[in-house]
Each structure stands twice: as C-alpha cells, then as structure tokens.
Amino acid sequence: MGWLAGLLLSTPATAFTLPDWPPALEWDHTLVQTSLYTRHFSPDPEHTNQQDLISIELHNPDRWLAGAAWFKNSFDQPSWYFYAGREFPLWQTDKGLNVRAKLTGGLLRGYQGEYRDKIPFNHLEIAPAVLPSIGVQWGRFESDLIVFGTAGMMISAGVRF
C-alpha cells in the first residue's frame, strides 16, 4: 500500500485532470444523421425496427459534442434524446478514414403510457440514458453502430457541415 501512496505523491496533480476541461465553447463542425438499420436483441412482436431517427450534433475542436435526436422508439412512440458526450479517436489511415468511439449521456423522453416501464428510471417519463458507439468518418461522411443498453443496436449515417 505504501507504493501506491508514493506513486500518488510523486505524480503531478495535472496527471489526474480531465483532458480539455472545461470544454471550449467553440464550434468545429455539425453532424446531421439518420438511422439506416435497427435490430433488437430480443425481438418482441410489439417492437418496430423503423426508428426514422434524425439527429444534429454540434462538435468543438477538442472532440466534445452536444446534440438532440428525434426518433420513433421501439413501440412506435415519438421520442427525444438530448445529450452531451465525447469522441475518442481509435485508428486513422493515410487515406483519411478515421475510426472512433463515442460516448454520450443525456435525457430520454417518449416512453409513455403502458410502455413507460420498458426503460429504467422512467417514472416521470424522462429517463437518463448513456449510449456508447463505434464509428467511422471519411471526409464529410460518418456512420455509427450505436448500442442502446441490452435492448438492441442501430446503424446510423450522416454528413458533417
């Protein structure tokens, strides 16, 4: 245990700060996306796989982002996801193909009525959500594989401006 204390005391305090914090309020690009394909891991006859998603994300130069998405949820109800997050570069080719992970977190609204309890913590019909994804970017075009909990996954595609 003494080695851990020695390591902590000998490490500069800046080693434990978040990168680029606080995020710069500076615009780099906007990403507009739509859903291409959805699959539920445990299909239910009530599930729809046609989400009709449209989202817009504002990105800063340090890879932080904020966004909003409108879509039809698994039970064909109009829903909103308001979120913030960050991209993490994973791999890049000399041909301009970038592979990255993304993690967003925010509030989800739209699971109502008899479907209110289909997502956790949705007692007030607004629930917290965290969505990890992995994606590729080539020039102005991007595509993501988004996993929504244990329920399913979606492939989206979009254009950056």
The domain locations on the chain are 23-160
Domain boundaries 23-160, CATH class: mainly beta
Confidence of residue 17 (pLDDT cuts 50, 70, 90): low
Confidence of residue 149 (pLDDT cuts 50, 70, 90): confident
Quote the pLDDT of residue 68: 98
Rg over alpha carbons for the chain, rounded to the nearest Å, is 19
- Report percent pLDDT > 90 for the chain: 75
Q: In angstroms, what CA-CA distances link 46 with 42, 74, 98, 121, 122? A: 11, 8, 37, 21, 19
Quote the pLDDT of residue 10: 52
Integer Cα distance of 159 and 161 in angstroms: 7
Quote the pLDDT of residue 43: 81
Does 109 have pLDDT greater than 70?
Answer: yes
Does 42 have pLDDT greater than 60?
Answer: yes
Integer Cα distance of 149 and 127 in angstroms: 13
